[in-house]
Amino acid sequence: MSETTIGLRVRRAGPLALLQDAGRFGVRRLGVTQGGPADPHAWAWANRLAGNAWGAAALEVTLGGLALEAERELLLALAGADLGATLDDAPLTAWRSFRMRPGQVLRFARPEAGLRAYLAVAGGFRAQAVLGSRACVVREGLGGHDGRGRPLADGDRLAVGEAAGQGDEARLAPPEQRPDYRVPPRLALIPGAQIAEFEGASLHAAFHRDWTVDDRADRMGVRLLGPPLRCRVETLVSEGLGLGAVQVPPDGQPIALLNDRQTIGGYPRLGALTPLSCGRLAQCQPGQRVRLGAVPAERALADYRRFRARFA
């Protein structure tokens, strides 16, 4: 890493700031999970506003507490949660690009709406790829800014791409693309292979009752609290788990698995949340209410293709 490529210095790391590209694919057979942005919608918009192509590495800032100082002129973009961001103590709104000059300090306070903000820099953040990706997975010690799966720490310095100081600094995401994270979301779920094994009353409750986001939530998964779901099959031979799999353990409280999930599991599954619904769930604070809505796989695929086409 040469001195001339350094763009930002970490003055205060906060609880969890991770470098994430689109994710690590093709290695689940080795027991390696995908990583990548917990909220792909906000991550993609941050990169779009910074002028980056799909897949560029950006910072995922969870819960705030991060302070970054610019060491050169930079064009950046911020999207996702409102974490009380300020630039030299002036409020900085999300879903827009902005410029930092040497010595300026970007700070994140605490969550006001949502949990995760995404910070992209023109040219992308540079880091060594591990198994084909820069996605940081702390549990597996892979990827991230140092290749060892470490969250940012005080004093770390972040390398940036060649386009870091160039481009239009007035980009703004359209209003319809900026979610209100305070509104209880309806999460699209593709019914799974075991759904017929759940009792009728449980299936009715699953899709007609509110669920509360538990405080037991991280990048591996989010536990939902509500009416216990009863399944005639309690355990299965372990099978592969995709993004969004909604497992139901014996206590009947479902767990939606996210980017850093384990690769196999043996609990029956209600189905799988779509990638965009996973991202919306990842922005829910503990205590927020959500609803599940069944959607056919064909519709979910069409919705995701429309999302990706915007960033092609």
Rounded percentage of the chain residues whose pLDDT exceeds 70: 97
Question: Which pTM value belongs to this model?
Answer: 0.96
**Residue 3 pLDDT level (bands cut at 50, 70, 90):** very low
Sheet containing 90-91: give its strands across. Answer: 90-91, 86-87, 105-107, 67-70, 6-12, 157-160, 125-126
278's tokens: 């996973």
pLDDT of 223 above 90 = yes
Q: Which residue has the higher pLDDT, 98 or 165?
A: 98
Give the Cα separation of 283 and 181 in Å (integer). Answer: 7
pLDDT of 103 above 90 = yes
Give the Cα separation of 187 and 290 in Å (integer). Answer: 7
Task: State the average pLDDT over residues 38-59.
Answer: 97
pLDDT of 238 above 50 = yes
Backbone phi, then psi, for 106, in 5-degree steps?
-100, 125
Give the Cα separation of 46 and 219 in Å (integer). Answer: 19
Listed range (2-6, 124-128, 146-150) with the worst mean pLDDT: 2-6
Task: State the average pLDDT over residues 91-112.
Answer: 97
280's tokens: 């919306």
Scanning the structure block, which residue is given the tokens 């910074």? 50
**Residue 164 pLDDT level (bands cut at 50, 70, 90):** low
What's the pLDDT at 4? 44
CATH architecture of 186-310: Beta Barrel (2.40)
pLDDT of 168 above 60 = no
Q: How many CB atoms lie within 10 A of CB 233?
A: 12
**Residue 5 pLDDT level (bands cut at 50, 70, 90):** confident
Give the Cα separation of 100 and 75 in Å (integer). Answer: 6
What is the domain partition of the chain in residue ranges? Answer: 3-177, 186-310
Collect all residues with Cβ–Cβ distance below 8 Å to 27 and sequence separation of at least 6.
131, 132
Task: State the average pLDDT over residues 257-284.
Answer: 97
